Structure 1
Amino acid sequence: MLAELRTQARNRVPPEVWDYYEAGSGDEITVGEAEESWRSYRLRPRVLNDVSVVDLSVDLLGTRVASPFLVAPMAFHALAHPDGECATVRGAGSAGSLAVLSTRSSRTIEDVVAAATGPWWFQAYLMRDRGLTEALVQRAAAAGATAIVLTVDTPYVGRKNKVGGVRFAVPDDVYLVNLAQHLLPGAVGRDSAEQDPSMTPDVIARLADVGGLPVLVKGVLRGDEAVRCLEAGAAGVIVSGHGGRQLDRVVPSALALPEVVQAVAGRAPVLADGGIRSGLDALVALALGASAVLVGRPVLWALAAGGADAVETVLRTLADDLRHVLAVAGGRSFGDLDPGMVVPRHG
């Protein structure tokens, strides 16, 4: 199904938009390895368990969702579909999922909330004007976000050779609408809205205090960094290499996840993204200790191919696939999974 959606999406968006969505940093080594790394594990299934009823629901910081497949934060959904993020959240909610709205959304927080049919989180960058970040976090909290996702792996924008380096020329009718009302006219791209490369862990507690919401830190690939985030006030971490878009040759999430889970030691939820393309991929992540997984590019493919309905379909299809493989592996819920159920291919 995903291959068909990918083809449909590629045929429906301009070539430069396709390149922007698909591009990775540098030689795009990480982009390819992100998917392959999940497939490098092998399963050790359980048997003689009653799996006639399978429960995929998960509790994430007090929010119960029907499926562990979340929509990752991504910029400019309006490049894929006229309804942009509004269509994405409609589809996610209908599928019983949770969407993470990007700071770089092409639809306002308020418009997205009006379209939402399920829970959502807000993704934030720490910008040079920290007051701008805080204003967005407060705005998201007031609109009903239940958590903040702080992305920390982008002190500078990664170089993407496929799209001519660092910058992508966004069409005039697609822009950073959530930043516009906080900046002077014509200043949406000015320095104050750029990521702040001086970010340190103290910002985690600050944003939690400003928004009154739990903060998950996204972009963690090391156990010691995960602990550092928790000690600074993080309510959870997301193991992520930014889809291979920031720094090439970083360790894939599938290989980083066990170290992070071990370091966190059950003190907070650990989520993962990067290359998740099937129920089996998600099963591996959940067995390794992830509480949920985030899906990026496949959601954009679906959005481009068929709007909200296609987003719902792809998320439901992934969930159905996971329900099947979880049962065949001997699990009734994710509580039946443990790291001993998966081994490296050559382990």
Structure 2
Amino acid sequence: MTDQSHNEIPAGAVSLADYERLASERLHPKAWAFLSGGAGDEITVRWNREAFDRLQLLPRVLRGAASADSRLEMFGRAFSHPILLAPVAYHRLAHPHGELATATAAAAQEAGLVLSTLSSETLEDVAAVAGPRRWLQLYLQPQRADTLDLVRRAEAAGYEALVLTVDAPINGVRDRERRAGFALPNGITAANLARYAQFPSGGALEQLMALAPTWEDVEWLIGETTLPVVLKGILHPDDAELAVASGAAGIIVSNHGGRTLDTVPPTLDLLPAVVSQIEGRIPVLMDGGIRRGTDVLKAMALGATAILVGRPIVYGLAVAGPLGVAHVLRLLRDEFAIAMALTGCATVADIPRANLIRQ
């Protein structure tokens, strides 16, 4: 659903905002509505971005931090930097090679990849081209046997963690998609789910809500795998505490990019309370609204272990294929390293202690 002749980085693409503008021009309007839109009036989408602009960086100087070491460790795996690719469905809406192109670019930039259950390429095919830092995002299926089969496939394909989305038992009210008349085009499907029973559709709200996951389901999943299970969609400190009690290995502070419930507060504003509740017991990641390396720094200064970025990845994919994805990641990496150096942070461990943030 995009002009696939674009596989070179445009001369004017020097920021993630440039990629967003170019993607809006090149994607089919229906694909653009799906990939960029949010729930309701898209207030939360806007708030996610604006939250970063309200925070200011207060540099420290003469600290010998002219170069920045962005390495960190999560779940026993070394990461070159704290920027991961968030799970986004149906990358083939943006490029014919879909998640295969995305995974190749992520590996080239040593970025952690979280593959969506709703990938338009199978998790096995993606694993064949992805780097070692790959996780699988899960939606619980109507039948536990199907969920368990997905887990076993992920284990066999070398995925290193499972990311269970807990904040979207049903889709949000996405007006922009409805106005555009979005539907998946022929040839694009949820490749991982082809052999499983499908969720009811067509007005079966009561059936969908009856299948909504519970804390019991979370504990069941954790008990069925040796992989770390990360819960995505935690916003309330009490839910963060329940996540620890359930045995979750980590959490992601996320409002689903503003795509499920509109007027939910921005994730950056909710992050500190969740971090305070967790008290370092498990990693706390976050997503939503990140468009600059300074945003990465601000999130980590407020206690995030790492961050995930979603929409800009598919914008890069739509504009310049795998080169575009790699360039988006490189821009964020370089901006983050520069922000670290200019605020006196030699390592990521220095960020929370450096008094970087003031209102």
Q: TM-score, normalised by structure 1?
A: 0.93
Paired AA for residue 314 in structure 1: V
Matched position secondary structure for 1:59: strand
- Rounded Cα–Cα distance in structure 1 between residues aligned with 2:164 and 2:62: 42
Following the alignment from structure 2 to structure 1, what is the Cα–Cα distance between the partners of residues 110 and 139? 27
CA RMSD between the two structures: 2.0
Q: Which amino acid aligns with 1:324?
A: I
* Matched residue SS, 2:308: strand
Query: 1:3 is paired with a residue of what secondary structure?
Result: helix
Residue 180 of structure 1, aligned match among 194, 205, 209: 194
Partners of 2:345 and 2:354 within 8 A in 1: no
Q: 1:143 aligns with which of 138, 141, 157?
A: 157
Q: How far did residue 195 of structure 1 move? A: 7.6
Percent pairwise identity:
41
Matched, 1:69 2:83: yes
State the match for 2:310 in structure 1.
Answer: 296
Q: Which amino acid aligns with 2:61?
A: V
> What residue is the counterpart of 1:159 in the other structure?
173
Deviation string for 1:48-87 (max 9, x for gaps)? Answer: 2111331111111111111111000010000000000011
The answer (yes or no) to whether the contact 2:169–2:208 under 8 Å persists in 1 is no
In 1, the alpha carbon distance for the partners of 2:170 and 2:87 equals: 18
Matched residue of 2:172: which SS? coil
Structure 1 ranges of 4+ moved more than 3 A: 165-168, 188-198
2:216 is equivalent to residue 202 of structure 1: yes
Selected match of 2:234 from 220, 224, 227: 220
Q: 2:65–2:341: 8 Å Cα contact kept in structure 1?
A: yes
Q: Secondary structure at the match of 1:164?
A: helix
Q: Could you say if the C-alpha distance between residues 166 and 213 of structure 1 is closer, same or farther in structure 2, counting changes exceeding 3 Å?
A: farther
Letter in 2 for 1:270: V
CA deviation map 1:256-285 (0-9, x unaligned): 000000000000000000000101101000
Structure 1 match to 2:136: 122
**1:286 paired to 2:306:** no
| Structure 2 unmatched ranges of 5 or more | 1-14
Larger CA deviation: 260-269 vs 164-173 = 164-173
Encode CA deviations 1:318-343: one digit per residue, 9 max, x unaligned: 01000001111010011111266244
Aligned pair count?
341
Identify the range of structure 1 (239-248 vs 335-344) with the bigger mean alpha-carbon deviation.
335-344
- 2:287 is aligned with 1:273: yes
CA distance in 2, matches of 1:155, 1:165: 23
- Report the CA distance between 1:8 and its aligned residue: 2.1
SS of alignment partner, residue 294 of structure 1: strand
1:108 counterpart (122, 137, 159) = 122
Q: 2 CA distance for matches of 1:37 and 1:339?
A: 21
Aligned partners of 2:87 and 2:144: how far apart in 1?
20
CA distance in 1, matches of 2:211, 2:257: 20
Asked if residue 332 in structure 1 is aligned to residue 338 in structure 2, the reply is: no
Does 1:316 find its partner at 2:316? no
Take 2:100 and 2:224, find their aligned partners in 1: how far apart are those partners?
26
Paired with 1:76 and 1:277, the residues of 2 have a C-alpha distance of 21
* Cross-structure match for 1:54: 68
Shift of 1:203: 2.1
Unpaired runs of at least 5, structure 1: none
Q: Give the deviation of 1:313 after TM superposition.
A: 1.1
Residue 105 (structure 2) pairs with residue 91 (structure 1): yes
Q: Are 1:240 and 2:254 matched, yes or no? A: yes
2:175 & 2:107 partners in 1: Cα distance? 35
The more displaced of 191-200 and 318-327 is 191-200
Give the Cα–Cα distance (whole angstroms) in 2 for the partners of residues 8 and 282 of structure 1. 23
Alpha carbons 1:128, 1:194 under 8 Å: kept: no
- Comparing 128-137 with 107-116, greater Cα deviation is found at 128-137
CA–CA distance in structure 2, aligned partners of residues 165 and 3 of structure 1: 24
Q: Contact 1:127–1:194 (CA<8 Å) still a contact in 2?
A: no
